[in-house]
Amino acid sequence: MSVAQEMILMLPEIVLVVGACFVLLCPRFLAWPLTMLVLAGTVGAMVATAPENPTMLMTGMFERSSEIDLLRILICVVTVLILRYARGHPISPDRLQSNEFYTLAIFGCVGMFLISGAEHLITLYLGLEILALSLYPMIAMMRDDGRAGEVALKYFVLGALASGFLLYGMSLMYAVTGTLHIGELASQLEQLEMNRVLLLGMVFMLAGLAFKLGATPFHMWLPDVYDGASIPAVTYLSAAPKIAGLLLLLRLFSDGLMALAVDWTTLMMVLAVLSLLLGNLVAIAQTRIRRMLAYSAIAHTGFVFLALGAGTPHGMGSAVFYTFVYALMAAGSFGMLLLLNARVASEDIQDFKGLNHSHPWLAIMVLILMFSMAGVPLTAGFYAKLYVLQAVVDAGLWPLAVVAVLLTVVGAYYYLRIVWYMYFEEADRPAEPGEDSAHVFLVSANALILVFIFAVPQPWLEMSRDVARVFVGGQ
């Protein structure tokens, strides 16, 4: 393939990188429209250059396929949503609506794009680090806020440690197989006898990723970061990178290390059950909404690990669907939080009290989001859970399915609590949501799409299955 052809297929990434530079340098008032333009241009470039078949680029280091493009479009859409939500944040608009913030958000997308197409461990690592290096300053951006600085440091140190784990695991893989190319790695591993070095490498890689994704017992940073960072940064962190994390897992384990599936599925199951257990139980005790959502994120990560732990194409499809739905739910929840929080930075769960009396429409939207998180029908969250359960039962692991659903019931409690505060209680301090009607519209659309996905699930389910198919079996 000629260089020109490769450049055309890399156009989305090129648009992002060039656009990010322009956003950094442009006058302040142009930063926001330019960011939207860049993201829209990226989506446009992706649609315009979509290849018919999966194509290898850059001497086999990067793969472009139209199925994964769908997820990358989703990453862009979620990013746009989040950046728009972040504009509702009244505190420090000079920092959180600055050129730097938008530039970092776009570079985060570059990292996620690289992860999504990586066919080589180095590309994968590069993508992950670009993403992580965009997130650290984003969290630290509120530099006069002591807590933000503290959690940024915490996140940085643990993130660096996790990267170290991942790299060490990769190097062990390289030591045994002599290749960093994921496709070659997969075919090499199929011929190799299992040995301890491989096992060690695999465990290190999984631990590194579990750190990044916040699965128990590697979750310690997550509640602190969710609670301490500025909401716009947390919103960004909570939604789009989850999709990238899933792609990372799919690429590394379901594709590269498929030959070792017997070993990593067991480990993933352990991570899944621990995450579900800890996330759901500890979330009950939280009084601050962001900490609650953090533990809920851990529990949802548990569900994704459960799906992948099934070790089947079905399981991978369900993981994609689950993550897709979760990204929308997380974006919606934080978007709602930003809207409700336009007044002060206090985020006690009690602040939801009496919302139905003052803002019945917003209360219904929160109700949809919460029931979707709990996995109750009439919302997309139900299919997400159903699909995972189906994959898990299909793999013959029905006791795990039982454990998962029982913990879902535990989880339902803390989502219900928000609903009952809104509907059953009187407000101590009436919430004063922002008057930003575009924000209200976006959050409502964000919540209602979950109902729409419930009514018309087939295309999304097919999309998830197709995405999973790209990874199955290695290439």
Partner 1 sequence: MSLLGLMIWAPIAAGFAALLLKDPAVVRRWALAASLFVFVLAVVAALGFDPAGGYQWQYRVPWIPAFNIDYHLGVDGLSLPLVVLTAFIGMLAILTGWNTATRHIGQFFAAFLMLEGLLIGVFCAMDAALFYIFFEAMLIPMFLIIGVWGSENRVYAAVKFFLYTFLGSVLMLVAFVYLAIQSESFRITDWHAFSLSSLEQTWLFLALLLGFAVKVPMWPVHTWLPDAHVEAPAAGSVVLAAVLLKIGGYGLLRFCLPIAPDASLALDGLVIGLSLIAVVYIGFTALAQTDMKKLIAYSSIAHMGFVTLGLFILYRLATETAMLSVSGAIIQMISHGLVSAALFVCVGVLYDRRHSRNIQDYGGVLETMPIFGALFVFFALANAGLPGTSGFVGEVMVILATFQAGWWLAALAAMVVVLGAAYSLWMVRRVVFGPAEHAEVKAFQDLSGREMLILLALAIPVLAVGLWPVPLLDLIEPSVAQLIDQAQAFKAGGAP
DSSP lists the bridge partners of residue 288 as: 348
Mask 399-428, x = binds partner 1 (CB under 8 A)? Answer: --xx--xx-xx--xx--x--xx--xxx---
Nearest distance in Å: CB 197, partner 1: 38
Looking at the Cβ atoms of 290 and 353, the one nearer to partner 1 is: 353
Nearest distance in Å: CB 411, partner 1: 10
Nearest distance in Å: CB 250, partner 1: 19
The CA-atom distances, in angstroms, between 24 and each of 18, 19, 21, 27 are 10, 9, 5, 9
Tell me if 20 sits within 8 A of 107, measured CB to CB: yes
Of 138-146, 150-158, 236-244, 392-400: span binding partner 1 (CB under 8 A)? 392-400
Q: SS3 of 348, please? A: strand
| Rg from Cα positions in the chain | 21
Nearest distance in Å: CB 458, partner 1: 6
Nearest distance in Å: CB 424, partner 1: 4
Among 25, 378, 438, 445, binds partner 1 (CB under 8 A): 378
Tell me if 352 sits within 8 A of 422, measured CB to CB: yes
Tell me if 115 sits within 8 A of 132, measured CB to CB: no
Mask 428-467, x = binds partner 1 (CB under 8 A)? Answer: -----------------------------xx--xx--x--
Looking at the Cβ atoms of 173 and 418, the one nearer to partner 1 is: 418
Chain length of the chain = 475
Q: SS3 of 257, please? A: coil
Looking at the Cβ atoms of 91 and 449, the one nearer to partner 1 is: 449
Tell me if 442 sits within 8 A of 87, measured CB to CB: no
Nearest distance in Å: CB 402, partner 1: 6
Looking at the Cβ atoms of 204 and 421, the one nearer to partner 1 is: 421
* CA dihedral sign, ordered 349, 351, 352, 353: positive
Looking at the Cβ atoms of 413 and 452, the one nearer to partner 1 is: 413
Question: What is the spatial distance between Cα 347 and Cα 9, in angstroms, rounded to a whole number?
Answer: 44
Mask 49-68, x = binds partner 1 (CB under 8 A)? Answer: --------------------
DSSP 63: E
Q: SS3 of 460, please? A: helix
Nearest distance in Å: CB 413, partner 1: 6
The CA-atom distances, in angstroms, between 467 and each of 71, 210, 378, 395 are 8, 22, 25, 20
What contacts 218, CB < 8 A, 6 or more positions away? 162, 207, 210, 211
Among 85, 322, 387, 471, binds partner 1 (CB under 8 A): 387
Looking at the Cβ atoms of 61 and 374, the one nearer to partner 1 is: 374
The CA-atom distances, in angstroms, between 116 and each of 57, 81, 215, 338 are 13, 20, 20, 29
Mask 352-371, x = binds partner 1 (CB under 8 A)? Answer: ----xx--x------x---x
Residues that bind partner 1 (CB under 8 A): 356-357, 360, 367, 371, 376-378, 382-383, 386-387, 389-390, 393-394, 398, 401-402, 405-406, 408-409, 412-413, 416, 419-420, 423-425, 457-458, 461-462, 465
